[in-house]
């Protein structure tokens, strides 16, 4: 049956909104009623329909072509999904003109302009054109006035101090939010009731009253200041978590002095690494402890030292090889008469090595050498010497910390 080639058939083009996110394939609908050269409807006939899309003009570059083998219905109608065979992804839809050319069984039937570009396809082309860089966008808001928080966590609290914003990490179960020296901090208010204090990491320490002072009876092992800031300069002996659990952590003097400073309630010391309501003891506070313990004697180290020792003459639970404990000494063994429980956490010099764990105990004070910036006072107990001794040491060393409660 001969086709009428001089007349353009009735063509109905419907542009639909398609999902353009990697769904196969992108397409728009084409409908046409086919008639022969006598004008009779070509009902229920098999035909090959070629669709071409041209850019800029009816004689322009062919940017798309596909052929559909289909059958008309009883009314001569065909329904095609243009793009369902070859796909339309490579057409750069934009502000240019596009034309559609139709051929049936090899006979060109005519070319007509697409008066509107398929919206969904154009929208995807526009999205793909964006580089993904925020700075390439126009009319963006000024973000300098916004608060930038690095690695925010659920429960964090923001507060402003020293011309910048700071993050207070969420506290532990049962802690309350306090304001100390104008700064928010978490505190455990139950410490006075049960003889313990809890740091921000959740470590619970027993406490002991000696004279007019209340001390921690364990070495500090926190990794954060009371405001939630991570401590830089806190070390586990030999980088072992087990050693940190047994003997506490070792801190440089700068790390010890970080965090909040002294207050009217705590004029002689610095809170530093200690929990809220506690502070790093000054050199004078260490002297107060020593004077109370010794009563003029020279054995303060023995009386404050934990009784846990290899082959302790005291026997029982004091005689142990399990950590934490002191190395063996037949004369200078700990009696721990006040429950202070001094343990030999050793030390870390600036070289980064570790020394003397289970032999010697070193404790920082908050007092630096007068007129000097590089040394501070410490207290120490040797396993083979009875006294709690005093001396200056470089601030870059890392020692244990015992906190004392504010007045």
User: Residue 241: what pLDDT?
Assistant: 94
Nearest Cα to Cα of residue 45 among 95, 1, 7: 1
* Contact assessment for residue 186 and residue 177, using Cβ atoms and an 8 Å cutoff: yes
Cα 186 to Cα 279: distance, rounded to the nearest angstrom: 14
The angle subtended at Cα 173 by Cα 171 and Cα 178, nearest 5°, is 45
Q: Which two tokens stand for residue 204?
A: 């619970």
Domains of the chain: 11-136 (2.60.40), 191-405 (no CATH)
* Contact assessment for residue 220 and residue 400, using Cβ atoms and an 8 Å cutoff: yes
* Contact assessment for residue 173 and residue 190, using Cβ atoms and an 8 Å cutoff: no
The single-letter DSSP state of residue 206 is E
Preceding omega of 324 cis (within 30 degrees of 0)? yes
Cα 51 to Cα 67: distance, rounded to the nearest angstrom: 6
User: Residue 277: what pLDDT?
Assistant: 87
Cα 140 to Cα 153: distance, rounded to the nearest angstrom: 27
Nearest Cα to Cα of residue 312 among 301, 293, 327: 327
Q: In what order do the strands lie in the sheet with 28-33?
A: 11-14, 28-33, 77-82
* Contact assessment for residue 330 and residue 367, using Cβ atoms and an 8 Å cutoff: no
Sign of CA dihedral 185, 191, 197, 198: negative
Residue ranges of alpha helices (H) inside 305-380 are none
Element (H, E) at 48: strand 46-55
**Sequence-separated contacts (24+) of 184-193 with Cβ below 8 Å:** 184/157, 184/159, 184/227, 185/226, 185/227, 185/260, 185/276, 186/226, 186/228, 186/276, 187/226, 187/275, 187/276, 187/277, 188/275, 191/277
> Per-10-residue mean pLDDT for the chain, 407 residues long?
42 40 63 83 90 90 92 90 85 81 87 69 54 74 74 83 78 71 65 75 93 95 90 96 96 88 56 90 93 74 94 95 96 93 96 96 95 92 93 96 92
- C-alpha to C-alpha distances, 40 to 1, 4, 9, 11, 76, nearest whole angstrom: 11, 10, 12, 16, 9
Q: What pairs with residue 18 in β-bridges?
A: none
* Contact assessment for residue 364 and residue 390, using Cβ atoms and an 8 Å cutoff: no
pTM exceeds 0.85: no
Cα 260 to Cα 276: distance, rounded to the nearest angstrom: 9
Cα 146 to Cα 298: distance, rounded to the nearest angstrom: 61
User: Residue 371: what pLDDT?
Assistant: 86
pLDDT single digits (tens) 112-171: 888 765 545 555 555 455 666 777 777 777 777 677 777 888 888 888 877 778 888 887
């Amino acid at each position: 049956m001969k086709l009428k080639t001089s007349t353009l058939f009735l063509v109905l083009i419907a542009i639909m909104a398609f999902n353009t996110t990697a769904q196969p394939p992108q397409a728009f609908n084409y409908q046409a009623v086919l008639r022969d050269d006598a004008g009779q409807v070509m009902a229920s006939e098999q035909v090959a329909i070629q669709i071409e899309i041209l850019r800029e003009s009816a004689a322009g570059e062919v940017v798309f072509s596909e052929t559909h083998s289909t059958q008309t219905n009883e009314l001569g109608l065909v329904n095609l999904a243009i793009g369902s065979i070859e796909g339309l992804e490579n057409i750069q839809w934009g502000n240019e003109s596009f034309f559609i050319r139709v051929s049936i069984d090899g006979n060109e039937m005519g070319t007509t302009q697409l008066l509107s570009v398929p919206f969904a396809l154009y929208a995807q082309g526009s999205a793909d054109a964006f580089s993904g860089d925020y700075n390439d966008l126009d009319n963006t808001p000024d973000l300098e006035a916004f608060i930038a928080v690095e690695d925010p966590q659920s429960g964090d609290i923001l507060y402003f101090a020293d011309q910048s914003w700071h993050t207070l990490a969420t506290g532990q179960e049962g802690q309350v939010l306090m304001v100390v020296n104008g700064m928010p901090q978490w505190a455990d208010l139950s410490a006075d009731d049960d003889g313990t204090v809890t740091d921000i990491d959740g470590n619970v320490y027993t406490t002991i009253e000696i004279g007019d002072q209340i001390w921690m009876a364990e070495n500090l092992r926190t990794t954060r200041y009371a405001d939630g800031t991570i401590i830089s300069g806190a070390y586990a002996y030999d980088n072992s978590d087990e050693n940190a659990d047994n003997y506490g952590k070792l801190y440089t003097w700068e790390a010890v002095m970080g965090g909040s400073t002294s207050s009217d309630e705590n004029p002689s010391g610095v809170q530093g690494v200690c929990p809220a309501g506690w502070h790093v003891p000054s050199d004078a506070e260490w002297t107060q402890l020593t004077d109370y313990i010794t009563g003029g004697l020279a054995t303060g180290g023995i009386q404050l030292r934990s009784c846990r020792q290899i082959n302790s003459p005291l026997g029982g639970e004091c005689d142990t090889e399990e950590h934490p404990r002191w190395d063996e000494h037949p004369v200078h063994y700990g009696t721990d008469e006040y429950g202070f429980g001094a343990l030999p956490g050793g030390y870390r010099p600036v070289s980064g090595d570790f020394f003397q764990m289970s032999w010697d105990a070193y404790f920082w004070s908050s007092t630096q050498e007068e007129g000097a910036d590089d040394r501070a006072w410490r207290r120490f107990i040797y396993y083979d010497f009875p006294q709690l001794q005093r001396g200056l040491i470089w601030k870059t060393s890392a020692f244990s910390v015992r906190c004392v409660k504010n007045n």
